[in-house]
Every structure is written in C-alpha cells, then in structure tokens.
Amino acid sequence: MKIAQLSPIRTQLSDSEIRTQLSDSEQLRLRTMRKRLVIEQGHLEALQSKCSRQELTMAIVSIGGALDCIEKLIPPRMEVL
C-alpha cells in the first residue's frame, strides 16, 4: 500500500490577502449581515435579561464569534470627519 505524500499548504491568509479576494458586492453583503447579526444579538441579550438560559448565552457568544470573523473579512471603513 502506498501512502500519498502531501505537500504542506498555507492555511493562514493575511487580512489584506483575504480582503483582496472579496468583491465589492461580497463586502457589502458581509456588512449587511454584520448589521443584522448585531440587531439579533441585541434581541437575544434583551431576552436573556428576562429569562436566563444557557442556550441564550451560547447563542450570544456564537454571534459574537461570527461578528469577529466578519470583522476580519471586510476592510475598515474610512470615516469622514
């Protein structure tokens, strides 16, 4: 039996490499998704204040993780002063 030899691949891309791979429409979609997730996270936090459950905490933490990942995918917006 012959075992295939795998050459190591680079699995980590730098932030700038990831951003250059996303089109403007993809970045817009991610920004829209981020806004919706922030709203939903707020609803979950309000619900948790009424009824504390472990599942709600897990959902809030999961959304936070998703938001962190989205932040890494889209470039920061230039703010106009």
If we measure between CA atoms, which residue out of 68, 78, 70 comes closest to residue 22?
70
pTM above 0.75, yes or no: no
- Distance between alpha carbon 77 and the CA centroid of its chain, in Å? 16
Q: Quick check: 28 and 75 in contact, CB under 8 A?
A: no
- Reading the chain (81 residues) residue by residue, the pLDDT tens digits are 455 555 555 556 665 665 568 888 999 999 999 999 999 999 999 999 999 899 999 999 999 999 999 988 886 665 555
